[in-house]
Chain A
Amino acid sequence: MSTRRIGWATVFLAVPLIAYVAAVVGPGLYSFYYSLTDWNAVGGTATFIGLKHYRDMAGDEHFWLALKNTAIWTAVAVVVPTVVGLALALGLAQVQRMQRLIKSLFFLPLALSLVVVGQVWFWIFRPEDGLLNLVLGHVGLGSWQHSWLSDPSVAFWSVLVAWCWQQVALAMVVFLAGLTGVQQELVEACKVDGANARQRLWHVIIPALRPAFAVVVSLSMINALKSFDIVYVMTEGGPFRKTETLALLVYRTAFKTYDFGYASAVSVVLFLITLVTIGLFFAWTNREDHQNA
Chain B
Amino acid sequence: MIHESTRRWSRVAGFAALAVFAPLALAGCGSGGGGADGKTVSMAHYFSDALGAKAFKSITTLCTQQTGRTIKNSPIQHEAFKDSILVQLAGGNPPDVYSYWAGAKTQYLVDQKRMAPLDDFWAKNDLDKSIPQSLSKASAEYNGQKYLLPFDYHYVGVFYNPKVMAKAGVTTMPKTWDELMAAAAKLKAAGITPFALGSKNQWPAQFWFDYLLLRTAGPDYRQKLMAGQAKYTDPQVKTAFSMWKELFDKGYFNKSPNGIDWPDAADMVSKGQAAMTLNGTWVTGYWDDNKVPAVQGYDMFPFPEVTPGVPQAALGPVDGWALSTAAPNKAAADDLLKCLSGPEAQRDMALAQGALAPNKNADLTSQNEVMHKAAKEVQTASTFVFNYDLATPPEMSEPGLNMIQKFVDDPSKLDGDLQEAQSAADGAFKKN
Contacts and interface: CB of A to CB of B under 8 A. Distances in A.
Interface string B242-261: 00000000000011111110
B17 interface: yes
Contacts of A226: 19-20, 23
A127 B403 CA distance: 22
A228 B394 CA distance: 22
A200 interface: no
A241 B402 contact: yes
Contact of A267 (B13, B20, B113): B20
Interface stretch (B4-12, B290-298, B353-361): B4-12
B301 to A, nearest CB: 26
A247 B296 CA distance: 47
Interface stretch (A82-90, A189-197, A201-209, A274-282): A274-282
Given A27-B25, A150-B258, A279-B9, A218 B15 contact: yes
B135 interface: no
A24 B19 CA distance: 9
A42 B90 contact: yes
Contact of B12 (A23, A259, A282): A282
A258 interface: yes
A131 to B, nearest CB: 14
Contact of A275 (B12, B255, B394): B12
Interface string B97-125: 00000000000110111100000000000
Interface stretch (B81-89, B159-167, B366-374, B380-388): B81-89
A163 to B, nearest CB: 15
A59 to B, nearest CB: 11
B28 interface: yes
B22 interface: yes
A174 B398 CA distance: 42
The 5 closest A-B pairs by CB, nearest first: A147-B256, A150-B258, A150-B259, A41-B90, A127-B259
Contacts of A178: none
A149 B264 CA distance: 15
A14 interface: no
Given A126-B259, A278-B12, A23 B395 contact: no
A230 interface: no
Contacts of B255: 127-128, 147
B14 interface: yes
A27 B16 contact: no
A114 interface: no
A31 interface: yes
A109 interface: no
Interface string A43-71: 11000000000000000000000000000
A43 B11 contact: no
A228 B23 CA distance: 10
B19 to A, nearest CB: 5
Contacts of B113: 43
Interface in A124-179: 126-128, 147-152
Interface stretch (A5-13, A94-102, A232-240): A232-240
27 contacts: A23-B22, A23-B25, A24-B14, A24-B17, A26-B25, A27-B21, A41-B87, A43-B113, A126-B260, A127-B255, A147-B256, A149-B259, A150-B200, A151-B256, A226-B23, A239-B405, A247-B23, A255-B83, A256-B82, A257-B394, A258-B86, A258-B394, A267-B20, A267-B24, A279-B9, A282-B8, A282-B12
A271 B12 CA distance: 11
A76 interface: no
A228 B20 CA distance: 11
B334 interface: no
Contacts of A225: 19-20
A28 B83 contact: no
> Chain A: interface residue count, which band?
35 or more
A236 B398 CA distance: 13
B36 interface: no
Contacts of B15: 218, 222, 274, 278
B112 A42 contact: yes
B201 interface: yes
Contacts of B8: 282, 286
Interface of A: 20, 23-28, 31, 40-44, 126-128, 147-152, 218, 222, 225-226, 228, 236, 238-241, 247, 250, 252, 255-259, 267, 270-271, 274-275, 278-279, 282, 286
Contacts of A41: 86-87, 89-90
A42 B109 contact: yes
B69 interface: no
A132 to B, nearest CB: 12
A238 B199 CA distance: 11
Contacts of A259: 395
Q: Which of B20, B111, B264 has the most CB of A within 10 A?
A: B20
B2 to A, nearest CB: 14
Contacts of A27: 21, 24-25, 28
A105 to B, nearest CB: 30
A42 B21 contact: no
A257 B258 contact: no
B330 interface: no
Given A42-B90, A152-B409, A274 B259 contact: no
Contacts of A228: 23
Contacts of A149: 200, 259
Given A42-B112, A252-B398, A271 B21 contact: yes
Contact of B260 (A128, A258, A282): A128
B106 to A, nearest CB: 12
